[in-house]
Structure 1
Amino acid sequence: MSSAEEIAKAAKVAFEDSQLVPSAERVNALRHIREALQSNKNEILAANRQDLEAAQAEVDAGRMSESLLKRLDLDKGDKWDSMLQGVSDVAELPDPTEIVSYAKELDDGLELYRVSCPIGVLLVIFEARPEVVVNITALAIKSGNAAILKGGKESNRTTQLLSQAIAAGLAQSSLPETYVQTIQTRAEVSSLLALDQYIDLVIPRGSNSLVQNIQNNTRIPVMGHADGLCSVYLDESADDEKAVRVVLDSKTDYPSACNSTETLIIHESLLQTTWPVVARALLEANVRLLCDAATLSALQTLSPPPPNLTTLTGPSTPESYTTEHLTLTLSVLALPSLTAAVRFINAHSSHHTDCIVTESERAAAAFCRGVDSAGTFVNASTRFADGFRYGFGTEVGISTGRIHARGPVGLEGLVIYKYMLRSTGARGHVVGDFGAGGKQYKHVDIAAATLPF
């Protein structure tokens, strides 16, 4: 078994060697990987069932959450097909590298280009969802980055077989087989976090404690998010039907996802009108409501009262509004204005995705500009905050940071840029020719610029 340093060195060498590989070959590698995954589907899903059985035992023993178990199932619904489709979608996306975003002629025959390029070696650490191995592999390869992947121990069997299929696909391309590697232990992670000479970016996907632990134990830049504390605000002009549809989907479509809504904010004017309608729909969907005094009091007027009114409603606590429930539980409160709602969200959310339901363009504009989150939505479910739904093919994760990449991170979030300067002058160019008594910089735009070399 290779040491962590050997794995990191191999990844760095693979990345450096790959920079002269044509982008078409990266697409070719993705197609081979998709074929290898499909060929090994039965074995992979059998391993996933073993992981699920072991995880269920952990849930029964109280050592694992139900939400983590749900994320583990690779054969649920269309998850397998969506995973493979994600590989194909990423392969078909435009190449994000070698795009010129700035071009200037500094002097006759002296041209400056800002050109997109890969970040380098990515260390991606995630929990439960085994499909993340494939999602990140596709994005890393397409964007020209090497990757080291660490899944949770609860998905080890699945991850190993997915990794074998990926390696088999890479072996049929001109990319090194060490371009995408997987590790299994926490000790390896700890060692890798110290190897900033080889690893360029760490992307954690998982619990708050996981992200914070990584941020506190590495010098390597970290991109990611901790909690998914998303909210929906029902503005005073909210339409009842839209409110019901948006709130229900945001909460119940996939409660354990990070883009599921955890807090519902009601404008005080809606306490006797829209809120009872929305509350009844939520209770019919078996959503537990943790309410402040005003919203809880309004529920007592429901007539006829829903049969589960007393069992699924109760008072909230201050901690309710800073808790990522990841279940069919929703924290609710009433506020007197849009301004108050924006302030509450900025103070309590994780800056992931927040939504306003409103018929007022002015309120929508104020909300979208005032809320300091990676996604601000109008009359649309927070569940839309997803790289696949945005058209990124898939995503490496969600970033709630304020530099480089924000929101769902697809290909564009996995490239940075470099400056390329070229002189075509007969004697080359030197800085000493410019300044007092010498040449002056032209700084003229180069129209429709593409790299000339």
Structure 2
Amino acid sequence: MDIKQVCIKASEASIRMAELDGTAKNKALSALADALLEHKDRLIAANAVDLKRSEEEKLAAPLLKRLKFDEKKINDVVEGIRSLMKLEEPVGNTLLSTMLDEGLELYKVTCPIGVIGIIFESRPDALVQISTLCLKSGNSVLLKGGREAVETNRALTEIIDGATIAAGLPKGWITLLESRDDVNEMLKMDEYIDLVIPRGSNEFVRYIMDNSRIPVMGHADGICHVYVDKDADLDMAVKITVDSKTQYVAVCNAAETLLVHEAAAAKFLPVLKAELDKKNVEIYGDEGTRKIIPVKAASDSDWATEYLDYTISIKLVPDADKAIEHINTYGSGHTDSIVTSNRQTALKFMNLVDSGNVFWNASTRFSDGFKYGFGAEVGISTSKLHARGPVGLDGLLSYKYMLVGNGQTVDDYANDRKSFKHVKLNKKIQDV
């Protein structure tokens, strides 16, 4: 594969993508959804090949669960596409309008980023979510999924490419990269690629940043926490903790560490352990935890570990301040939740925990673009610039300033023949 030519074609396609209106993009999304259902047997067969090979290679059970792309998951991604179609057209929205002077008006208008390279884990459903979000936001996309899903991803990309081009999208708007060498070449293409989004560990994201001049939107580890406060409803706390940990363990928004107020621990931990035992969760605890329930000893490395498995670490803390301190020290800035009936404590937690998603009395598993109503997500951004938290359509947009005049020149203002008025308007660029 000639990566430079791929990037040139993607860049050319991005110009045409930017001019598509909402009707054209929704038509392509509808065709894509229909094609996935039409070719579901092909997709399931391709996925069976990936699963068989991965099982023979002893891929861990949680990762096999991610890899599986059965009829239910196909129906789920199609539902996500239908939901995405219902969202308002994101491109061409006026964010600001100002009359600089009579007949001189400034507009701040949303636009696509251009060409986006996205590297993601072995989740075929992620490929569909990513590509459809890029389509809706008018971007071209280069995709590199985990090698375990090579056959499924290949089939998906061929189906998506064929359906959307038949519906009017430009050739080259979507391309699947299949090797590590392809990725390394892509990282050199800063002339054509506008943004790279790597999904994976901190080390992986850092590698991408260190080996490219292209801007990187980092989606790092998901070291998520639940903090059970002394004022928590303990039944609620058990329910939220179990859901955060076990509802789907192999995802970045599953809880990995549980923090418990010392005053709540004696009543809470035995009940929680009984529920986690039903799910076969392995528990590591600090000294205070081990005095209450029989669990393995936790080490400092456990506080910084993303298990992605039926494993959790537990630590007792004297107050919410220490919980916040622990999260800001060991967390990855992803998702953290407090369980408490004390409003003041909850607001303090949400204001001071330095994460993209902070919850009160809710499972960490809610931090998801689809659940937020974004249609889907390309990932979770743990950075603080451009996009943070679940990255949906808004995170795949930029903006440009459009100035509409009538022959004005700066010289008139520099020599005081005219003066700026800077009056806010309530106009859209389409109204000009």
The TM-score with structure 2 as length reference comes to 0.97
Moved more, 398-407 or 89-98: 89-98
Tell me what 1:74 maps to.
69
Q: CA deviation at 1:276?
A: 2.2
Aligned partner letter, 2:136: K
Moved more, 166-175 or 35-44: 166-175
Task: Give a deviation string over 1:88-118, Cα, whole Å, max 9, x none.
Answer: 1112210111111111000000000000100
Matches within 5 A, 1:271-282: 271-282=265-276
* Residue 409 (1) aligns with residue 391 (2): yes
C-alpha contact (below 8 Å) 2:142/2:175 kept by paired residues = yes
Tell me what 1:302 maps to.
none
Partners of 1:366 and 1:125 in 2: CA distance: 36
Task: Give a deviation string over 1:204-235, Cα, whole Å, max 9, x none.
Answer: 12334432221221111111312100000001
- State which of 130, 145, 150 in structure 2 corresponds to 1:156: 150
Tell me what 1:441 maps to.
420
Tell me what 1:116 maps to.
110
Tell me what 2:130 maps to.
136
* Residue 429 (1) aligns with residue 426 (2): no
* Residue 217 (1) aligns with residue 228 (2): no
Partners of 2:174 and 2:301 in 1: CA distance: 41
Aligned residues: 432
Partners of 1:83 and 1:429 in 2: CA distance: 51
Tell me what 1:180 maps to.
174
Moved more, 436-445 or 142-151: 436-445
Task: Give a deviation string over 1:333-384, Cα, whole Å, max 9, x none.
Answer: 0011111110110011001000000000001100000100000000100000
C-alpha contact (below 8 Å) 2:11/2:193 kept by paired residues = yes
* Residue 228 (1) aligns with residue 227 (2): no
Partners of 1:43 and 1:371 in 2: CA distance: 45
Partners of 2:428 and 2:273 in 1: CA distance: 56
* Residue 394 (1) aligns with residue 388 (2): no
C-alpha contact (below 8 Å) 1:240/1:278 kept by paired residues = no
Task: Give a deviation string over 1:304-347, Cα, whole Å, max 9, x none.
Answer: xxxxx5xxx21100000000011111010001111111011001
Tell me what 1:341 maps to.
323
Aligned partner letter, 2:382: T
Tell me what 1:304 maps to.
none
Where structure 2 has 5 or more consecutive residues not aligned to the other structure, the ranges are none
Matches within 5 A, 1:37-436: 37-59=36-58, 64-75=59-70, 78-299=72-293, 313-423=295-405, 425=406, 428-436=407-415
What SS does the corresponding residue of 2:288 show, helix, strand or coil?
Answer: helix
Partners of 2:19 and 2:370 in 1: CA distance: 29
Tell me what 1:303 maps to.
none
C-alpha contact (below 8 Å) 2:227/2:339 kept by paired residues = yes
Partners of 1:387 and 1:28 in 2: CA distance: 22
Partners of 2:183 and 2:142 in 1: CA distance: 10
Q: CA deviation at 1:35?
A: 1.4
Aligned partner letter, 1:136: I
Partners of 1:449 and 1:443 in 2: CA distance: 16
C-alpha contact (below 8 Å) 2:36/2:74 kept by paired residues = no
Aligned partner letter, 1:48: N
Aligned partner letter, 1:445: K
What SS does the corresponding residue of 2:249 show, helix, strand or coil?
Answer: coil
* Residue 14 (1) aligns with residue 13 (2): yes
Aligned partner letter, 2:402: M
Where structure 1 has 5 or more consecutive residues not aligned to the other structure, the ranges are 300-308
What SS does the corresponding residue of 2:222 show, helix, strand or coil?
Answer: coil
Tell me what 1:305 maps to.
none
Tell me what 1:306 maps to.
none
Q: CA deviation at 1:436?
A: 4.8
What SS does the corresponding residue of 1:236 show, helix, strand or coil?
Answer: coil
C-alpha contact (below 8 Å) 1:91/1:138 kept by paired residues = no
Partners of 1:351 and 1:91 in 2: CA distance: 30
What SS does the corresponding residue of 1:387 show, helix, strand or coil?
Answer: coil
Q: CA deviation at 1:452?
A: 2.7
